[in-house]
């Protein structure tokens, strides 16, 4: 099959060209039930969306081209990460609203599907039972529209990884806690077939998956193919990540006898050589989240793959806020432990002294360190942002400072809710530049 590489020129024409060059609509029938799956996994109005979630510009273009093709049954589906603000918040709906997808759906009469609300079908992925959105399984034509981004656990988050959003909440967790994240991503993509993959590379993200630690760059590229493997191999190569080192691609290549030889892939449009970047995919959470606020003595080391996106996103947001509210403070060697089976002693390996204070984060972190005395346990699956922030303040700040910070933070949160205060973290200043175009969302 063909992979197309087309420069995004601001109009729907570049998307049309990318789809045409790849032969993306060749098997699409007008009566097909079409499902568009963007990456809209988490979107809060305070977070810069660039490189983190699929642009609405591309989603609108896909809808327009489907309508031009004569398609009548078009849905856009996503299942956003649940838990950051408690269980009950309508995360997917907020995500659709936050990126402007809700407006697009209204404008074109497109149906929105929240995968989190079901219905689900049970699948057995090599012995791991998971619940997968029925809407994703039943679509006649699935258009998978990920972002061109790196990921600190799976190296890249492209077409394969984007389908993890089709799982219910517990199954998403199981992908991580089973310690089989990459093999399960591979098997999931055997169960749900993407008929067309369009990688939205208007922006790309280094140190992904989100813009708290990640750094977005403008790229102006669209990558499209009916072959998800070839599309992801090309996407990873452009990001500067060796696709043969991406474990879910490696697993798929082994199972389906596919090759990583890029010269064997038919590429139409731009030359891949001229598009290659060298982006970092891995990062240490404490350096990226607390470093900009010059916080010292509080570590949150690389968690491996067993930390779920829900715990990861909540903790990233909490550490960023805590760092911003308490700049240049030293916390004397406190450390966070999270995920499954990681013990403080292992975490501190090679770093010398034991931590002065240990936070066990999430039910997994608590369960994995049951015998540890005097640790601060932040329970929950995941703990909420409020619980996490409060635990940090209580354990690390003096009483007077804690009450002062609680008051200030409460007022800021009310301000954010009312739309009169806009939180900006130090590394977000870069998104004021012209290349980051708000009208793409």
Helices (H), 343-384: 344-347, 362-368
For position 82 contacting ligand SF4 by CB under 6 A, the verdict is no
Residue 200 vs 210, nearer CB to ligand SF4: 210
What is the nearest approach in angstroms of ligand SF4 to the Cβ of residue 170?
9
Separation between Cα atoms, residue 239 and residue 147, nearest integer Å? 11
Separation between Cα atoms, residue 145 and residue 34, nearest integer Å? 13
What is the nearest approach in angstroms of ligand SF4 to the Cβ of residue 312?
8
Evaluate whether 48 touches 241 at the Cβ level (below 8 Å): no
Task: For the chain, give the number of residues.
Answer: 441
What is the nearest approach in angstroms of ligand SF4 to the Cβ of residue 288?
19
Evaluate whether 283 touches 319 at the Cβ level (below 8 Å): no
**DSSP strands (E only) in 11-159:** 33-38, 73-78, 111-114, 120-125, 128-133, 141-145, 147-151, 155-157
What is the nearest approach in angstroms of ligand SF4 to the Cβ of residue 183?
18
For position 342 contacting ligand SF4 by CB under 6 A, the verdict is no
- The single residue among 105, 363, 393, 441 that binds ligand SF4, judged by CB under 6 A, is 363
Please work out, in degrees rounded to the nearest 5, the angle formed at the alpha carbon of residue 98 by the alpha carbons of 13 and 75: 60
What is the nearest approach in angstroms of ligand SF4 to the Cβ of residue 417?
25
Count helices and strands (H / E) in the chain.
16, 16
Residues 380-439 binding ligand SF4 (CB under 6 A) are 381-382
Evaluate whether 199 touches 143 at the Cβ level (below 8 Å): no
Residues 9-48 binding ligand SF4 (CB under 6 A) are none
For position 324 contacting ligand SF4 by CB under 6 A, the verdict is no
CA distances from 112 to 28, 35, 101, 300, 384 (A): 20, 10, 9, 37, 27
For position 59 contacting ligand SF4 by CB under 6 A, the verdict is no
What is the nearest approach in angstroms of ligand SF4 to the Cβ of residue 362?
3
For position 143 contacting ligand SF4 by CB under 6 A, the verdict is no
For position 79 contacting ligand SF4 by CB under 6 A, the verdict is no
Per-residue binding string, ligand SF4, 160-179, x by CB under 6 A, is -------------x--xx--
Residue 53 vs 364, nearer CB to ligand SF4: 364
Separation between Cα atoms, residue 401 and residue 384, nearest integer Å? 22
In terms of Cα–Cα distance, which of 415, 299, 414 is closest to 359?
299
What is the nearest approach in angstroms of ligand SF4 to the Cβ of residue 300?
14
- The single residue among 76, 216, 265, 310 that binds ligand SF4, judged by CB under 6 A, is 310
For position 185 contacting ligand SF4 by CB under 6 A, the verdict is no
What is the nearest approach in angstroms of ligand SF4 to the Cβ of residue 386?
16
Evaluate whether 18 touches 222 at the Cβ level (below 8 Å): yes
For position 311 contacting ligand SF4 by CB under 6 A, the verdict is yes
CA distances from 341 to 305, 320, 352, 370 (A): 11, 25, 21, 11
- The single residue among 5, 135, 275, 364 that binds ligand SF4, judged by CB under 6 A, is 364
Task: Please count the other Cβ atoms lying within 10 Å of the Cβ belonging to residue 140.
Answer: 14
- The single residue among 198, 320, 362, 441 that binds ligand SF4, judged by CB under 6 A, is 362
Question: Is the preceding peptide bond at 119 cis, omega within 30 degrees of 0?
Answer: yes
Residue 314 vs 326, nearer CB to ligand SF4: 314
Residues in touch with ligand SF4 (CB under 6 A): 173, 176-177, 307-308, 310-311, 339, 362-364, 381-382
């Amino acid at each position: 099959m063909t992979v197309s590489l087309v420069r995004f020129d601001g109009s729907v024409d570049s998307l049309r060209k990318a789809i045409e060059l790849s032969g993306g609509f060749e098997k699409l029938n007008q009566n097909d039930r079409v499902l568009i799956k963007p990456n809209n996994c988490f979107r809060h109005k305070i977070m810069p969306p660039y490189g983190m979630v699929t642009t609405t510009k591309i989603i609108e273009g896909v809808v327009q081209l489907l309508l031009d093709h004569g398609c009548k049954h078009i849905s856009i589906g996503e299942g956003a990460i649940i838990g950051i603000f408690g269980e009950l918040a309508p995360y997917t709906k907020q995500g659709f609203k936050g990126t402007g997808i809700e407006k697009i759906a209204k404008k074109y009469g497109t149906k929105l599907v929240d995968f989190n609300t079901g219905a689900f079908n049970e699948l057995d992925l090599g012995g791991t039972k998971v619940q997968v959105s029925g809407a994703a399984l039943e679509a006649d034509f699935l258009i998978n529209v990920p972002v061109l981004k790196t990921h600190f656990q799976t190296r890249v988050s492209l077409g394969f990884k984007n389908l993890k959003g089709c799982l219910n909440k517990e199954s998403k967790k199981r992908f991580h806690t089973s310690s089989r994240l990459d093999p399960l991503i591979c098997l999931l993509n055997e169960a749900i077939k993407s008929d067309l993959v369009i990688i939205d590379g208007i922006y790309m993200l280094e140190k992904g998956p989100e813009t708290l630690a990640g750094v977005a760059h403008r790229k102006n590229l669209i990558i499209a193919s009916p072959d998800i493997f070839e599309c992801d191999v090309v996407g990873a190569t452009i990001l500067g990540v060796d696709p043969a080192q991406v474990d879910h691609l490696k697993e798929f290549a082994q199972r389906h006898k596919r090759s990583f030889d890029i010269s064997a892939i038919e590429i139409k449009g731009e030359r891949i050589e001229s598009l290659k970047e060298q982006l970092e995919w891995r990062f240490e959470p404490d350096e990226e989240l607390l470093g900009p606020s010059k916080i010292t003595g509080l570590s949150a080391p690389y968690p491996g793959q067993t930390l779920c996106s829900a715990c990861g996103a909540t903790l990233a947001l909490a550490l960023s806020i805590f760092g911003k509210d308490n700049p240049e403070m030293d916390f004397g060697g406190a450390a966070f432990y999270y995920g499954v089976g990681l013990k403080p002693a292992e975490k501190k390996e090679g770093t010398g002294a034991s931590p002065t204070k240990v936070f066990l984060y999430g039910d997994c972190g608590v369960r994995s360190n049951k015998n540890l005395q005097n640790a601060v346990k932040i329970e929950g699956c995941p703990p909420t942002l409020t619980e996490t922030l409060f635990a940090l303040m209580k354990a690390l700040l003096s009483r007077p400072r804690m009450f002062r910070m609680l008051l200030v933070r409460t007022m800021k949160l009310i301000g954010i809710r009312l739309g009169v205060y806009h939180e900006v973290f130090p590394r977000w200043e870069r998104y004021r530049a012209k290349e980051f175009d708000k009208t793409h969302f």
